[in-house]
Amino acid sequence: MNAVMPLPKYHKVYLILREQLHDGKFDQGLPGELALMQQYSVARVTVRRALAQLAQEGLISREPGRGTRSLVQPSKQHLDGSTPKSHKAHLTGLLENLVSMGMNTSVKVLSVQRMSAPHEVAMALQLPGGEWVQKAQRVRFTKEGPLSHITTWVPERIASGFGRKELAKKPILMLLEESGVKVGRAEQSISAKLADANMAQHLDIAIGSALLAVNRLIFDTDDKPIQWLHGLYRPDRYEYQMQLSRVGSIDAKVWVSKELSANFH
């Protein structure tokens, strides 16, 4: 029987940094070796080996006295809030499912802040430059422990009626509707991410653990974006189900989604 060998520490750090590079996290340069050593609780040789692999692949440039900079172009997903293949869902059933999940779990609000929309957020929410948004970060829990880390951005004109206190009590979709918003549809993508040191601490998992990454852009009935959400979920406590059916003629049948659900346990 072949035993599954654990990843070397340097390779875990390499994988996480590579992912963050593609996400555009290090546009202003990577942290120094000491900072990375402290963040991932590893030795300098581990950090240097991870950085050497990134440099060998042409993802970073290391210059003495000038630090380490990224050579990666950020994914288009972070420029408009969606991907070309993102799933478009009408929230007739999914909305109720998401609200139900919110009502049957507990939440810890990490931060709520009013801020000028960063460029990628303004583009996703179709806001003019300098427009104010509410950024909220929360960790949601089941009885077994942490389930997800959620970051949401909502235009300030909509979010002015709720803050930390309300977000701790109700799902944000309910708060949006109570603010007079009529939720229409969503564009959503699901991918995978690796837990960095910060996320590992929030979700009580090991650094480098695989997470389900959900990006969801919600529109009102006038087709205007009202919320941009980035969610990271523990795959051992969350699953996403789609019910498919076949439509079309005999020689041109295709699969279409009939129902969406997000289940936690």
Q: DSSP labels for 147-185?
A: EEEEEEEEEHHHHTT--HHHHTTS-HHHHHHHTT--EEE
Residues 6+ apart with CB under 8 A from 96: none
Judgement on whether residues 158 and 250 belong to the same structural domain of the protein? yes
Final residue belonging to a domain, choices 70, 89, 121: 70
The set of long-range contacts for 208-211, using a CB threshold of 8 Å and a minimum separation of 24, is 208/7, 208/12, 208/13, 208/15, 208/16, 210/235, 211/235
Please give the residue range of the domain that contains residue 18.
9-70
Taking alpha carbons only, the member of 195, 1, 219, 209 closest to residue 91 is: 219
Other beta carbons within 10 Å of 5: 6
Judgement on whether residues 122 and 151 belong to the same structural domain of the protein? yes
**Is the confidence at residue 143, as pLDDT, over 80?**
yes
Judgement on whether residues 42 and 117 belong to the same structural domain of the protein? no
CA neighbours closer than 13 Å in the CB half-sphere of residue 76: 5
Judgement on whether residues 32 and 102 belong to the same structural domain of the protein? no
Judgement on whether residues 191 and 132 belong to the same structural domain of the protein? yes
Q: Does residue 4 lie in a domain region?
A: no
Taking alpha carbons only, the member of 93, 76, 133, 114 closest to residue 263 is: 93
Q: Does residue 1 lie in a domain region?
A: no
- pLDDT, position 159: 94
- Percent of the chain clearing pLDDT 70 (strictly above): 76
Judgement on whether residues 15 and 97 belong to the same structural domain of the protein? no
CA 196 to chain centre: 13
Judgement on whether residues 40 and 151 belong to the same structural domain of the protein? no
168 φ/ψ angles, rounded to the nearest 5 degrees: -75, -15
Q: Does residue 2 lie in a domain region?
A: no
Which two structure tokens, joined as six digits, stand for 74?
Answer: 């950020």
Provide the mean pLDDT of the chain: 81
| Model confidence band, residue 39 (pLDDT cutoffs 50, 70, 90) | confident
Q: Does residue 90 lie in a domain region?
A: yes
Give bridge partners of residue 62 from the DSSP assignment.
Answer: 68
Judgement on whether residues 59 and 96 belong to the same structural domain of the protein? no
Q: Dmax of the chain from CA atoms?
A: 66
Residue type at position 123? M
Q: Does residue 235 lie in a domain region?
A: yes
- Percent of the chain clearing pLDDT 90 (strictly above): 36
Number of domains the chain contains: 2
**Is the confidence at residue 78, as pLDDT, over 80?**
no
Judgement on whether residues 137 and 109 belong to the same structural domain of the protein? yes
Judgement on whether residues 207 and 228 belong to the same structural domain of the protein? yes
- pLDDT, position 65: 75
More confident residue, 6 or 161: 161
Which two structure tokens, joined as six digits, stand for 39?
Answer: 């963040």
Mean pLDDT of 237-256: 64
- pLDDT, position 149: 95
**Is the confidence at residue 82, as pLDDT, over 80?**
no
Residues 6+ apart with CB under 8 A from 195: 16, 203, 205, 206, 207, 208, 209, 210, 211, 232
Give bridge partners of residue 87 from the DSSP assignment.
Answer: 188
Judgement on whether residues 153 and 219 belong to the same structural domain of the protein? yes
Given a contact cutoff of 8 angstroms between Cβ atoms, the answer to whether 9 and 37 are in contact is: no
pLDDT digits (tens, 9 = 90+) for 194-243: 999 899 999 999 888 999 998 999 999 999 999 999 999 998 888 776 66
Mean pLDDT of 102-126: 89
Look up the CATH number of the domain holding residue 48. 1.10.10.10
Given a contact cutoff of 8 angstroms between Cβ atoms, the answer to whether 244 and 258 are in contact is: yes
Distance CA 106, CA 141 (A): 5
Judgement on whether residues 160 and 42 belong to the same structural domain of the protein? no
